[in-house]
Structure 1
Amino acid sequence: MVNIFDNVNAAARDLVETPQYKNLAEALKAVREDEKTNEVFTRFQSAQIAINDAMQAGEEPDEAQIAAWQTVAQEIEEYDAIEKLMESEQAMNQLLMEINNTLTKPIADLYQD
């Protein structure tokens, strides 16, 4: 019998060796090393989480939440390190989507006919 988690754990170990992971780690380190950049990024994440939480609860984000997010979203444009981090996150998300598509292909194939 196959223990699928052995393979998944091996893939997780391989993931940290990909250029996407390494670029993400470097970009995050650069953001964290600069106090002001890290503070702005932390505020951006908090604003984003507040909006996501409201939406997941089936509610519309209130005007204050949207205004806070918009303000910090404009502010992050001034920080190259945050822009690079966001680009690295997008590349990592693309890789994870490709991995997910590969992993779930047998299920999708079940429904093809």
Structure 2
Amino acid sequence: MSNVYDKANELSSELRDSDEFQNLKNLHEEVENDEVAKKMLDNFRSLQLDLQQKQMQGEQPSEEEITQAQQQFEMVQQHEVISKLMEVEQQMSTIISDLNKIITEPLEELYGSPEDQEGGQ
């Protein structure tokens, strides 16, 4: 079993050394070092988290909250570094999702995919 963990650690190291991760790290540091950009992004993510928590609790966000979120999103999208950071975060998310699919493939072969299980019930 340790071989599986060794491979996971190797994959982690490869991911850390990848151009995509290095780009993400550099952009993240750039935003962290820019007080205005950091505050803008923190405010946007806080609002986003609040809306997600409401939805998880079955509450619908108010029109005002939705409008505020849209305005915040438009504002962060206009900031060049934040916009690029969000784009690279999405790319990393896709990579992680792809890796997850590859890693869980043996389980899907054994049990079927979640989509297969939903359709069968």
SS in 2 for 1:45: helix
When normalised by structure 2's length, the TM-score is 0.81
How many residue pairs end up in the alignment?
Answer: 111
Determine the structure 1 residue equivalent to 2:12: 12
What does residue 25 of structure 1 align with?
A: 25
2:43 equivalent in structure 1:
43
Supply the AA of the counterpart residue of 2:81.
A
Residue 22 of structure 1: how far off its partner (Å): 0.8
Given the two structures, how large is their TM-score scaled by the length of structure 1?
0.86
In the TM superposition, what is the alpha-carbon distance from 1:83 to its structure 2 partner? 0.7
Root-mean-square deviation (CA), in Å? Answer: 1.7
Q: Which runs of 5+ in 2 are unaligned?
A: 114-121
Matches within 5 A, 1:1-113: 2-3=1-2, 4-110=4-110, 111=112
3-state SS of paired residue (1:77): helix
What CA deviation, in whole Å up to 9, does each residue of 1:72-100 have, x standing for no partner?
Answer: 11211220001110111011011101100
Identity %: 26
Task: Find the residue that maps to 2:25 and give its secondary structure.
Answer: helix
